Amino acid sequence: MKIFCAVLLLGALLVGGPVRAQNVSSQPGAPNPLDVIPDKMPFDVPYGPPISLDRAQGLITAAIAEARRHDWKMNVAVVDAGGNLVTFARMDGAQLASGAIAEHKARTAATFRRDTKLFENGVQGGMLYQLSLDGVIASRGGIPLVEDGKLIGAIGASGGAGSQDEVCAKAGAAALNKGAS
């Protein structure tokens, strides 16, 4: 009898019983937010000269100093405006898998010229198409580096919760404006 009930339940679910996800965009009258046409290009930050190794290392030093203040173990990467790795650091004991993630966050922030948190927010808000964009990571912790209104690179951090990664990346990016070398 138990097997018979399980088969009936499985059959009901496969045929489209009460547990069926609905596609929000297929609901009549629901506006598609992607149909909005902005007056200006969003995130249209011009490219500048690439960040130097010395400056990039200074930003990593600032990000790691922030991580140490909280006893967090981080991986931090800085890329140039084209998303090419300039420098990387892994703190002792930092999660090994997070090294590639830190670089991916930095590369995404540089190539799309925006914080990776915006992709995270978009995906959480139902804009799942963003996951189909080549090179996107929808996780906070990637921050573009803008100097004199021009993109010179990006910094990415990974190793903790996304909010911890973001704090460290922002600390590194803030050092750019303080003249870190």
The CATH number of residue 84's host domain is 3.30.450.150
CA distance 112 to 135: 9
What total of structural domains would you count in the chain?
1
Full domain range(s) for residue 77:
53-177
> What number is the average pLDDT over the span 102-131?
95
180 CB contacts (<8 Å, ≥6 apart)?
55, 58, 59, 61, 62
pTM of the predicted model, to two decimals? Answer: 0.80
> What number is the average pLDDT over the span 162-169?
98
Does a structural domain hold residue 68?
yes
CA distance 61 to 58: 5
CB 83 within 8 A of CB 131: no
Does a structural domain hold residue 24?
no
Q: What is the predicted pLDDT for the residue at 175?
A: 97
Does a structural domain hold residue 34?
no
Of 54, 74, 52, whose CA–CA distance to 166 is shortest?
A: 74
Q: Which of 2-6, 64-68, 93-97, 106-110 has the lowest mean pLDDT?
A: 2-6
Does a structural domain hold residue 67?
yes
Does a structural domain hold residue 146?
yes
Residue that is written with structure tokens 């990637």 in the block: 142
Does a structural domain hold residue 43?
no
Residue 87 has pLDDT above 70, yes or no: yes
Does a structural domain hold residue 102?
yes
Does a structural domain hold residue 120?
yes
